[in-house]
Amino acid sequence: MICFHNPLHHLHAPRHEFFRGNRVDCFEKPLRAGYVEQALAQGGYTLLKPDADSAALLAKVHDQRYLRFLKTAWEQWVALDPANAHAQPFPSVWPVRTLRSDVEPANFIAKLGLYSMDNGTPLAEGTWDAAKAGADAAASAAMRIAKGAPAAFCCTRPPGHHAGPDFMGGYCFLNNAAVAAQALLDHGANRVAVLDVDYHHGNGTQSIFYGRSDVLFVSIHGDPLTEYPFFLGHAEEQGEGDGFGFNLNLPLPAGSAVEKWFEALDTACSRITQYAPDALVVSLGLDTFAGDPISQFALTTADFFRLGRRLAALKLRTALILEGGYAAAELGANALQVIRGFEG
């Protein structure tokens, strides 16, 4: 399988985050991608650098105002006080119900709140460069699919599926899966399916494509009544306008058995087959693993081989885009098993 990676992912290296009100070391850290890169190299795969520029694609899936902010956020932060170069900014106010979001405030922390869905997505000096290179890697994988490759894997961080049209969140800044889907549409595909198997609902991807029929979004995830991102991912969300009927959420209770998860996967795959897309993008979150510190499903490493086989059975050109997975030491083996299952 063709494998791309993000050679700049290490530039996004915040020191801490806020998790359920507590300041903790970051769960989403450079070691995550490092373990995957190591496993791929030991498995005999060559890691390719991005060879596509995602700029035009980003402009189609994200708002320009948001992209301008994200690109200059660190510069703005340090301009307030040179000492900020050694501090991480966090939002402290958000434009919730009855407050306006159409006017961008001048205050930096207020702007950060405008473009954030949580306070658990810390910025660092190299965040933009790392996120942009990750989007480039996702676009590169999609371009190989568009040119006829049967499958490609993209090892990248920060992840992307929580990033919406005009906001960051859940460790995500740019939506890599949306970039890949848009790249496929721009290069010959008429219909693309995005399957999100991360433990957490891909709220950003859903939001980007919710009114569109050229992208089917299907997500298997922990029930948002109890699991992050809490405010999206319910079964009744089916799309709107032209996109009605092209959004399928399959929420499962925290702690659901492995077989229940694979039953949901079969339901997802049946809907994808019915849709008959030209290509498939998989938001490959591996935080469904039993040892994940912030998730509550129980897949084993061997189960990820089974996942790969089920995806291959769809017989679609497929781009696998790495998302979550916070049992860092096991992440490489789990990713490798998906690839082996898909190929085998």
What distance lies between CA 269 and its chain's CA centroid? 19
CA angle 130, 135, 140 (to 5 degrees): 125
Cβ–Cβ < 8 Å for 31, 144: no
- Whole-model pTM over 0.85: yes
Interatomic CA distance for residues 163 and 175, integer angstroms: 5
Tell me what percent of the residues of the chain surpass a pLDDT of 90: 98
CATH of domain 2-343: 3.40.800.20
Pairing of strands 16-19, 22-25: antiparallel
Residue 200, helix vs strand vs coil: coil
Round to whole Å and give the CA distance between 45 and 335: 12
As a 3-state breakdown, the chain gives helix, strand, coil percent values, each rounded to 5, of 40, 15, 45
Three-state SS at 269: helix
Q: What is the pLDDT of residues 225-283, one digit of tens each?
A: 999 999 999 999 999 999 999 999 999 999 999 999 999 999 999 999 999 999 999 99
- In whole angstroms, give the CA distance from residue 127 to residue 195: 26
The residues, any chain, with a CB within 8 Å of residue 153's CB and separated by 6 or more, are 1, 2, 3, 4, 40, 141, 319, 320, 322, 335, 339
- The pLDDT of 305-333, averaged and rounded, is 98
Measured between alpha carbons, how far is 202 from 221 in angstroms, rounded to an integer?
8
DSSP 82: G
State the DSSP code for 241.
G
Name the pLDDT band for 219 (thresholds 50, 70, 90). very high
**Average pLDDT score over residue span 305-328:** 98
SS3 284: strand
Q: Pseudo-torsion of CA 164, 274, 318, 311, nearest 10°?
A: 110
- Which amino acid belongs to residue 141? A
Tens digits of residue pLDDT in 19-39:
888 899 999 999 999 999 999
- With 0-12 / 13-18 / 19 or more C-beta atoms within 10 angstroms meaning exposed / middle / buried, residue 245 is exposed
Of 162, 200, 201, 221, catalytic = 162
pLDDT in tens, 59-73: 999 999 999 999 999
pLDDT given at position 118: 96
Query: Three-state DSSP class for 129?
Result: helix
Residue spans per domain, the chain? 2-343
The predicted pLDDT at position 36 comes to 98
Beta carbons of 279 and 318 less than 8 angstroms apart:
yes
> Which class for 150: exposed (0-12), middle (13-18), buried (19 or more C-beta within 10 A)?
middle
Tens digit of each residue's pLDDT (9 = 90 or more) over 1-12: 999 999 999 999
Whether 168 shows a pLDDT value over 90: the answer reads yes
Total Cβ atoms within 10 A of residue 343: 12
Number of other CB atoms surrounding residue 96 within 10 Å: 8
9 flagged as catalytic: no
Nearest-5° angle of CA 293, CA 281, CA 149?
A: 125
| pLDDT the model gives residue 119 | 92
User: Is 103 exposed, middle or buried, given 0-12, 13-18 or 19+ CB atoms closer than 10 A?
Assistant: exposed
**b/e per residue 298-318 (b: at least 16 CB within 10 A):** bbeeebbbbbbebbbebebbb
* Arithmetic mean of pLDDT over the chain: 97
Residue pLDDT, tens place only, 104-149: 999 999 999 999 999 999 999 999 999 999 999 999 999 999 999 9
Peptide bond into 229 cis (omega under 30): yes
